[in-house]
Amino acid sequence: MTPAPLPRWVDLILLPLLNLSVAFLVAGLVVLAIGEDPLEATRILLYGALGWGEGIGFTLYYATSFIFTGLAVAVAFHAGLFNIGGEGQAYVGGLGVAVVCLALDRYVQWWITAPLAALGGAAFGAAWAFVPAYLQATRGSHVVITTIMFNFIAASLMIWLLVDVLAPPGQMSPESRTFEAGGRLPQLDGLMALIGVDTGSAPVNLSLILALLAAWGVWLLIWRTRLGYEMRTFGANRDAAIYAGVSPLRITVVAMLISGGLAGLMALNPVMGEQHRLLFEFVGGAGFVGIAVALMGRAHPAGVVAAALLFGVLYQGGAELAFEKPAITRDMIVMIQGLVILFAGALEFLFRPALGRLFAGAARREAA
Amino acid sequence: MSQTPHASAAPAIELIGVDKRFGAVRANRDIHLSVAQGEIHGIVGENGAGKSTLMSILYGFYQADAGEIRVDGRPVAIPDSQAAIALGIGMVHQHFMLVEPFTVLENVMLGAEGGALLAKGRADARAELERLARDYAMQVDPDAVVGELPVGLQQRVEILKALFRGAKTLILDEPTGVLTPEEADHLFRILGRLRDEGKTVILITHKLREIMAATDAVSVMRRGEIVATVRTAETSVEALAEAMVGRRVLLRVEKGPARPGPARLTVENARVVDALGVERLRGVSLTVRAGEIVGIAGVSGNGQSELLEAIAGIRPLTSGAIRIGPEMAPPSPALVRDMKLAHVPEDRHRMGLVTRFEARENAVLGYLKGFTRGVFLDRAAIRERCMRDMADFDVRPPDPSLRTANFSGGNQQKIVLAREIAVDPDVLIVGQPTRGVDVGAIEAIHRRLIELRDAGKAILLVSVELEEVRALSDRVLVMFDGRVMGEAGADATEAEIGLMMAGVERGAAA
């Protein structure tokens, strides 16, 4: 017999908040240990991320990438697959975006390029997820191993392409030429100004809207479509899925293609939205942050968006913090990220038994 | 109704006012139980009545919220199973806790090696094992590898393990589930012997006939309470069943003679080799006609599961053929369903349901095709189907949005059965329809299967409950080691079927 389930709000809100608080508490202790004031650090971090217009713009820019990669992990997760190759899929997705932009930017308007670039990014990201998915479905090669290996292959492939193929002749840095106006997504500064936020030169761009649409789309997919139902069945009980006539090969491959496609879409944000060129290592760890985001968001699109915003705050605020307090480097943010993964993911159930007892006790007192 | 305590000594085990809650569920309430020295005490009750919780408290897996445990008259605390063993309480679990590649001797001494070097402990253990085998007539080769022993002997090793650790009181949890009737009888003889040597035995079961055959006293549990404790000699199967369920129950299935029609399901010389290369089906042939129930009896693990899965299209045949009506059945669960064959799997938790899903999502598992609009789910139709199924089978609570895991075993099984017959199949294959299902629901499910038969469905029934197979089936096939050993009519005796279950060919027995 298992303990009675926790009330829903405890499971969905209190528990993640508790885990998060502990992660920050430990991080605060580390700040204290290096001789800085954790409260002041928190203040700088929050102000840097949310206290001024440009900060908000940057926070949303980072959050955009994390929404995509977080959704990628969440979708695969529902099908019982742990796709930790978002980093590589996004990187290769960038190639898809760049190829479209390079081909069209001189000839058409951005709004013609954008949907095709999105398709290109998704297709390349999905293609990069296909091989691990197929190997998992047919040979049982675990996606956790193969997708992470594919991150390295992607890194090697991209460096070769950037150095030997895409870099314009005579240029030393490994990057493509800069796209013309037809290959650039519009910034959202006008839209943000409408709600009274001056984002200045922050790179928050149209892909944020696409990210929010993608979150809604994932919600529809998972809970409203037949495919989503089959994915959830497969993820929750493989034998029951086979019994119900779901093909493990098909569902594994399809789930991973969608996951890789979402990771690939992430490339729109930095490549077409900010840098307007394909850069060496432009993903910058967003693929891995997506794992933390999906874990924290409990694989629910709304949770993913919330967790992506949180990590956006951490990234932007962390950068400001590193600027103001040289003793606190960006590595600190990586550490906080690690702590969040530790407490929200690996130790997800750390507080569950205690909370279970607490609420069982409350229920008993009520009954008595 | 309570029994008089043993005149000469304090009770071996005494529970006074034991209470245990899990969240809002009160699994045990105010339990008073007294088990005298040297008796076999049965505990019966439906699934979820609290038998296992009670024994887990006694064996130190759970701590009681209130109440006292006394062993030999002394109040004790049992914080873990080590403490239970130290108090002379031994447990034989329903699922054996044996290391299969180890020998009998190694299994018995595991955790009681008596030092870092094995040589001395091994010699001591061997001597002790021989003494136990002699004293209790439980011969078993100490050097045999456990994984290669038949289940009956594996169970014997479990008992020896407990005795080796000095158990004076032995708890057996549903010990006969994996045994043939004959092996079960043998087990009861061993238990009798143990009792005669002064051991105390607590036997947990849901099979009332075993209680009548093997125990001296019996306690009945219902909804976490002990509702009756009686001397076995002074009660009857009917009285116990009534105490278990709280109302009169019909133990016999009432049915008229079958009126079989044309063959609906034909299996011809089916062979299945599993992933490990072991041949699980060795040429099975059978026919099920419209309007009859063909039962498959046998100890579990003799190929019944593979047969069901092969027919359902889940497991490909290595050779042979399966026909549904005149057509060949393809090895695809989806296509087989399209051919109007429905499948109630043996293990609803492993296969028949996604317990994490809401009930309505399970109500269409495998039948999603009829419940979509484009790529989207038709949620209204799904809900409606679930409500109809729930009303039809009296599922409680009738809440389509409740998580499936929160339904009782009987109601979960009703959800599966309702789903499978809602599509009006021609052929129904059913595995363990009443496993882990309470007596009240068993009655309803049995009645339903007979109704389906009378409506002209062809039904193949697999169950390890021999009584159930005999009560429902018009013809009984007995499987052993991947083969059909023979066919028995509805009037065959239990002994006749029992011999075939043990692998004795029909005819050879006579």
* Chain A residues with beta carbon closer than 8 angstroms to that of B332: 245
* Chain B residues with beta carbon closer than 8 angstroms to that of A242: 314, 333
In chain A, what is the straight-line distance between the N-terminal and C-terminal CA atoms, in Å?
22
B83: CATH: 3.40.50.300
**Within-domain flag for B357:** no
Last residue of a domain, one of B167, B191, B207: B167
* Chain B residues with beta carbon closer than 8 angstroms to that of A365: none
| Same domain? B84 vs B131 | no
| Same domain? B82 vs B12 | yes
- Write the pLDDT tens digit of every residue in B354-382: 999 999 999 999 999 889 999 999 999 99
| Same domain? B60 vs B83 | yes
Please, what's the largest Cα pairwise distance for chain B? 77
What does the pLDDT read at residue A5? 60
| Same domain? B448 vs B477 | yes
Name the H helices within B22-176. 51-58, 81-86, 104-109, 118-136, 151-164
What does the pLDDT read at residue A342? 84
| Domain ranges (residues) in chain A | 70-300
Report in angstroms the alpha-carbon separations of B72 from A306, B78, B85, B87. 60, 14, 14, 9
**Within-domain flag for B417:** no
* Chain A residues with beta carbon closer than 8 angstroms to that of B377: 224-226, 229
**Within-domain flag for B258:** no
Last residue of a domain, one of B244, B271, B296: B244
Test A360 with B22 for CB contact under 8 angstroms.
Answer: yes
| Same domain? B66 vs B189 | yes
Our CA-based measurement puts residue A324 at a distance from the nearest CA of chain B, in whole angstroms, of 48
| Same domain? B6 vs B47 | yes
Q: Which of A6, A11, A229, A358 to mutate to test the interface with B (most CBs of B within 10 A)?
A: A229
- Write the pLDDT tens digit of every residue in A11-24: 777 887 888 888 88
To which H or E segment does residue B428 belong? strand B427-431
| Same domain? B218 vs B101 | no
**Within-domain flag for B176:** yes
Test B357 with A356 for CB contact under 8 angstroms.
Answer: no
- Write the pLDDT tens digit of every residue in B250-291: 667 788 888 999 999 999 999 999 887 889 999 999 999 999
Beta-carbon count within 10 A of A131 CB: 17
Report the complex ipTM.
Answer: 0.84
How far apart (Å, rounded) are the C-alpha atoms in residues A86 and A148? 9
pLDDT greater than 60 at residue B447:
yes
| Same domain? B36 vs B141 | no
| Same domain? B273 vs B346 | yes
To which H or E segment does residue B89 belong? strand B89-92
In chain A, whose CA is at the least distance from the CA of B309? A243
Test A243 with B353 for CB contact under 8 angstroms.
Answer: no
Name the residue with higher pLDDT: B81 or B177: B81
Contact of A183 with A110, CB cutoff 8 Å: yes
Share in percent of chain A as helix, strand, coil (round to 5): 75, 0, 25
Our CA-based measurement puts residue A222 at a distance from the nearest CA of chain B, in whole angstroms, of 10
pLDDT greater than 90 at residue B245:
no
How far apart (Å, rounded) are the C-alpha atoms in residues A268 and A273? 6
**Within-domain flag for B326:** yes
Contacting residues for B281 by C-beta, under 8 A, at least 6 apart: B270, B271, B272, B303, B306, B307, B310, B317, B320, B482
How far apart (Å, rounded) are the C-alpha atoms in residues A27 and A338? 10
Query: A2 pLDDT band (50/70/90 cuts)?
Result: very low
| Same domain? B83 vs B124 | no
Test A4 with B23 for CB contact under 8 angstroms.
Answer: yes
What residue numbers bound the domain in which B31 lies?
1-88+168-244
Our CA-based measurement puts residue A77 at a distance from the nearest CA of chain B, in whole angstroms, of 15
Residue B147 DSSP one-character state: G
In chain B, whose CA is at the least distance from the CA of A236? B354
Radius of gyration of chain A (CA): 22
| Same domain? B236 vs B101 | no
pLDDT mean across residues, chain B: 88
Test B337 with A364 for CB contact under 8 angstroms.
Answer: no
pLDDT greater than 60 at residue A57:
yes
- Write the pLDDT tens digit of every residue in A280-291: 999 999 999 999
For chain B, give the number of residues.
510
CB contacts < 8 A (A, B): 85
| Phi and psi, residue B297, nearest 5° | -100, 160
Query: ω into residue B397 within 30 of 0, thus cis?
Result: yes
Question: Is B312 an interface residue toward A (CB < 8 Å)?
Answer: yes
* Chain B residues with beta carbon closer than 8 angstroms to that of A364: 21, 24
- Write the pLDDT tens digit of every residue in B27-79: 899 999 999 999 999 998 876 788 888 988 999 988 899 999 999 999 999 99
Last residue of a domain, one of B167, B187, B204: B167
- Write the pLDDT tens digit of every residue in B306-346: 999 999 999 999 999 999 999 999 999 999 999 999 999 99
| Same domain? B40 vs B173 | yes
- Write the pLDDT tens digit of every residue in A95-127: 999 999 999 999 999 999 999 999 999 999 999
3-state DSSP assignment of residue A227: helix
**Structural domain total, chain B:** 3
What are the strands, taking DSSP E only, across B182-262? 200-205, 217-222, 225-231
Residue B94 DSSP one-character state: S
* Chain A residues with beta carbon closer than 8 angstroms to that of B333: 242-245
Our CA-based measurement puts residue A147 at a distance from the nearest CA of chain B, in whole angstroms, of 27
**Within-domain flag for B211:** yes
Of B337, B356, B377, the CB nearest to A226: B377
Of B337, B355, B379, the CB nearest to A245: B337
Contact of B325 with B338, CB cutoff 8 Å: no
Of A236, A243, A364, the CB nearest to B356: A236
To which H or E segment does residue B209 belong? helix B208-214
* Chain A residues with beta carbon closer than 8 angstroms to that of B344: none
**Within-domain flag for B405:** no
Test B24 with A232 for CB contact under 8 angstroms.
Answer: no
